[in-house]
Amino acid sequence: MITLDPAKILIIDDDLDVLRAARLLLKRHFEQVDFEKNPQKIPYLVSNFDYDVILLDMNFTRDLSSGKEGFEWLDRILDTKPQSAVILFTAYGDVEMAVRAIKAGAADFVLKPWENQKLLDTVHAALQKRRATQKEKANSNNSQHLIGQSPAMQAVFETVSRVANTDANILILGENGTGKDVLARHIHTLSLRKDKPFVGVDLGAISESLFESELFGHVKGAFTDARDDRKGRFEEANGGTIFLDELGNITLPLQAKLLTVLQNRSVTRVGSNKLIPLDVRLICATNRNIQQMAAQQQFRQDLLYRINTIAIQLPPLRERTEDILPLALHFLEQYRLRYQRPVTGISDSLANQLQQYDWPGNIRELQHAIERAVILCQGKTLQPKDVFIKNAEPELSDNTGYNLEEMERNMIVQALKKCNGNITEAARELGLSRAALYRRLEKYNL
């Protein structure tokens, strides 16, 4: 019996013959091979599906051979999903360009016309590398030491130790950056399901039209783009834990669909009527006031009952000041090693300043502040001047010129204001993924 590698592959090329030939070859080896002729669909495909490898043409317009368009799409892909393994199709003679693309973040390149074995080897190598990185990341997440000596965090850890190895549904509440994601992973690693999959789904990043197919899967032909049968995230998590992040962001009709799955403990793939039994532990998280949403009929009360068997509130960092210094030292050590910098400590005056500040972006903001400081610091001890802490609302810079970066910064500030600091909503407003917005917040010190 030949078993297919469970990888998900996307091929993007405006030449249908190329697409067909590549797909025919890859389908014999990989479980899911999607293709797309229109590069404009790249943002939609990449943000809504988790592809392991993306094969991308460098030149979409036939008379254009600069590869400029390919570079732009490569950037868009890496902006949305920085861990993507992108393999470029380049024409013979474009090797210089291919080298430039690898420097820009592509995994590898394949010359057109390709040799089948060479294409397969390149895809396998990119996959292997991606899986090794994912494993490394999962291990570092699993083994992540959670810091929290404050009474508030000690109470959280106490609850976690009592409930982790039960199958109780858990709802984690807390502002952006308080550690909901790491806590969910931590609970999984303490549970009896620790050797089974942990599948995290950012519900804020899935469009309404794709919700069902992404979560519950679909069968071939269920809709125009459904070219194959596909498992949904619930099925992928079977036996393990599913983590539904940003649960407060889904609409009432989608809440009803989710409730049905949780009540029946089974999913039906879109386009099928076969029930697939589920054995998953559910952990949900939101930064919204979900009780209030339920009281205002924006969130279904029956769904809330089902998901919050145990509710864990993660306090904002300003309410656990005891944790600020241990966290800062933890990040100092992490980034000192990563960037090979000689910094080993934090001055008393900076320590005071860190404890006084109210950290609206919570632990993520502290982490980014320390990372920047470690890179910039000239001496052995971090000083107040090394750490950028915003004391007031970010000022809009004078938007008189046509500096693109300034304009981008201003748009981000405005979107954040409009959405009251809610990252998911601001990202949607700006047409960015949350990850892409976070990167820009960091870039502009926001």
Ligand X SMILES: Nc1ncnc2c1ncn2[C@@H]1O[C@H](COP(=O)(O)OP(=O)(O)OP(=O)(O)O)[C@@H](O)[C@H]1O
Touching ligand X, residues 58-87 (CB under 6 A)? none
Q: Report the distance separating Cα 259 and Cα 373, nearest Å.
A: 46
**For residues 297-336, which are near ligand X according to CB under 6 A?**
327, 330
Type of residue at 407: M
- What is the signed CA dihedral for 413, 418, 424, 427, rounded to 10 degrees? -50
Among the listed ranges 24-32, 33-41, 174-182, 256-264, the one in contact with ligand X (CB under 6 A) is 174-182
- Sequence-distant (6+) residues with CB within 8 A of 227 are 34, 220
CA separation for the pair 249, 204 (Å, rounded): 6
Q: According to CB under 6 A, which one of 39, 67, 70, 177 is a site residue for ligand X? A: 177
Residue 435 lies near ligand X (rule: CB under 6 A):
no
Which residue, 213 or 424, is less far from ligand X as judged by CB?
A: 424
Contact residue for ligand X among 23, 81, 112, 180 (CB under 6 A) = 180
For residues 383 to 422, the per-residue mask of contacts with ligand X, x marking binding by CB under 6 A and - elsewhere, is ----------------------------------------
Q: What is the token pair recorded at 417?
A: 């204001």
The residue sitting closest to ligand X, measured at its beta carbon, is 179
Q: Tell me the CA distances in angstroms from 239 to 100, 305, 386, one per residue in order.
A: 43, 23, 47
Indicate the residue among 7 and 363 with the shorter CB distance to ligand X.
Answer: 363
Integer Cα distance of 88 and 76 in angstroms: 14
Q: Decide if residue 122 touches ligand X (CB under 6 A).
A: no
Please report whether residue 178 would count as binding ligand X according to CB under 6 A.
yes
Tell me the site size for ligand X, rule CB under 6 A. 18
Q: Tell me the window of 73-81, 175-183, 224-232, 265-273 that interacts with ligand X (CB under 6 A).
A: 175-183
Among 423, 432, 436, 437, binds ligand X (CB under 6 A): 423
> DSSP letters of 62-124?
TT--S-HHHHHHHHHHHHH-TT-EEEEEEETT-HHHHHHHHHTT--EEEEESPPHHHHHHHHH
In angstroms, give the least distance from the CB of 275 to ligand X.
Answer: 32
Give how far the C-alpha of residue 316 lies from the chain's centroid of Cα atoms, to the nearest Å: 22
Q: Under a CB-based contact definition with an 8 Å cutoff, are residues 208 and 251 in contact? A: yes
CB of 246 to ligand X, least distance (A): 7
* Residue 206 interacting with ligand X (CB under 6 A): no
Output the smallest distance, CB 375 to ligand X, in A: 17
DSSP string of 113-139? SPPHHHHHHHHHHHHHHHHHHHHHHHH
Least Cβ distance, residue 156 to ligand X (angstroms): 9
Interface ranges with ligand X (CB under 6 A): 146-148, 174, 176-182, 287, 327, 330, 363-364, 367, 423
